Amino acid sequence: MLDPSLLRQQPADLAARLRETRGYALDADALASLEAERKQVQVRTQELQNLRNTRSKAIGQAKAKGEDVAPLLAEVAGLGEELKACEARLDAIKAQLDAITLGIPNLPDASVPLGADESGNVELHRWGTPRGFDFEAKDHVELGARNGWLDGDTAAKLSGARFTVLRGQLARLHRALAQFMLDLHTGAHGFEETNVPTIVNAESLFGTGQLPKFEEDMFATELGEQKRYLISTSEISLTNIVRDEIVEAERLPMRMTAHSLCFRSEAGSHGRDTRGMIRQHQFEKVELVSIARPAESGAEHEFMTRAAETVLEKLGLPYRRMLLCSGDMGFSASKTYDLEVWLPSQETYREISSVSNCDAFQARRMQARWRNPESGKPEPVHTLNGSGVAVGRCLIAVMENYQNEDGSITVPEVLRPYMGGVDRIA
């Protein structure tokens, strides 16, 4: 959530910034009206509490003197009724304010370009040269089906649309990619490997911003009265590790990585993305999360993005880095880099990693703080997350970029130790 002082002191200015940068309509008048009423009711509530305490003491003193306490008892009863009504109204106002504030997206960093959608994104650099083929390049679905490795029909029988069964050497290559990424991020980049739950409670989703706004994108489970959610990314589990915590300065940055299953309902049609493994209900990612000091989060964002880029470079996959514009960023992000990998079958770059700095937005929702040694006081940390990278999409990129005319796939050199020395799967 945003800094409460912006909401309370500058609602009109905040509404203008959100409208310009995010296309978000904030009703500043309604917010200001609720805030004014909250202050008024809160002051009256405190007055009533003080009056009740004062009168209660007076009753005790009057009883000790043998005086008639009936008038004082009647007054205290009246104060109690009014106090109860004020407290109920204060709770209702706070609930209304929470409903508004929890639905407001993060403000973009000053370095983020303005734009309404992906057409406003800015390409920063490219790496690698797309391969030229002397035969007609096939897409990953045809390559997988040809060898019996990728089976959407069986997955549909088991679970429905947008699920995939992987078999044989392709399943092993998928596993090899995840292991390679984890070894790289823990060994070369200093992230701590972490195994986290894939089912979380609602508090965790409120913390990272999926609830209440994006509940329809989540798969949920119910056991009795307990509702839990399948994670859409292990960012949720990893980031919430510091929820309701005060982290000591020497522990920052906390760099964590996890390989996990991820689940997204992603309602609606996405055209050709519904074919194959581009957009699945169940997929795997190697996630990167960092909990950082506010002054260092910009540098940490660059570090994490380079860590993801290194995965693609070691695999020899051409990619480009994009700086997302204000209208194309995620709800919690203040700045996002997308890495897009080259897919020969589409003759274009497609997203394979998104790395975001959320500054203090998630930390305020989670009450995640660090103890600033200069002030000695707890302050919100900055949280960052990114794919390091999406395993399924990386598998697609390897299949298509390393395909051979006979339908076999050359195994990238860095993956061969994970494949028992195999240099080609067929």
Strand (E) or helix (H) holding 305: helix 297-315
- Provide the β-strand partners of residue 127: 319
Q: Residue 111 catalytic?
A: no
Residues 6+ apart with CB under 8 A from 142: none
Q: How many CB atoms lie within 10 A of CB 128?
A: 16
Catalytic residue, candidates 232, 345, 354, 356: 354
CA distance 240 to 49: 36
Catalytic residue, candidates 264, 321, 364, 369: 264
Q: Tally the residues of the chain.
A: 426
Burial per residue of 58-69, b for 16 or more beta-carbon CB atoms within 10 angstroms, e otherwise:
ebeebeeeeeeb
Numbered residues of the known binding site: 233-235, 264-266, 287, 351-354, 385, 387
CA distance 76 to 66: 18
Catalytic residue, candidates 22, 255, 365, 393: 393
* One-letter amino acid for residue 328 of the chain: D
Q: Residue 351 catalytic?
A: yes
Q: Is 220:229 a contact under the CB 8 Å cutoff?
A: yes
Distance from chain centroid for Cα 309: 20
Residue 396 Cα distances to 234, 318, 409, 412, angstroms: 21, 13, 11, 13
Which of 285, 64, 73, 89 minimizes the C-alpha distance to 196? 285
Going by their DSSP bridges, the two strands 369-371 and 246-248 should be labelled as: parallel
SS3 content of the chain, % helix, strand, coil (to 5): 45, 20, 30
Q: Residue 131 catalytic?
A: no
Strand (E) or helix (H) holding 106: none
Numbered residues of the known binding site for L-serine: 233-235, 264, 287, 385, 387
Instruction: Output the DSSP codes for 137-176.
Output: PPPHHHHHHHTT-EEHHHHHHHT-SS--EE-HHHHHHHHH
Q: Residue 38 catalytic?
A: no
Which of 338, 239, 361 minimizes the C-alpha distance to 290? 239
Catalytic residue, candidates 35, 193, 313, 351: 351
Q: Residue 264 catalytic?
A: yes
Joined together, the tokens standing for residue 229 give 């959610």
Active site residues: 264, 279, 351, 354, 393
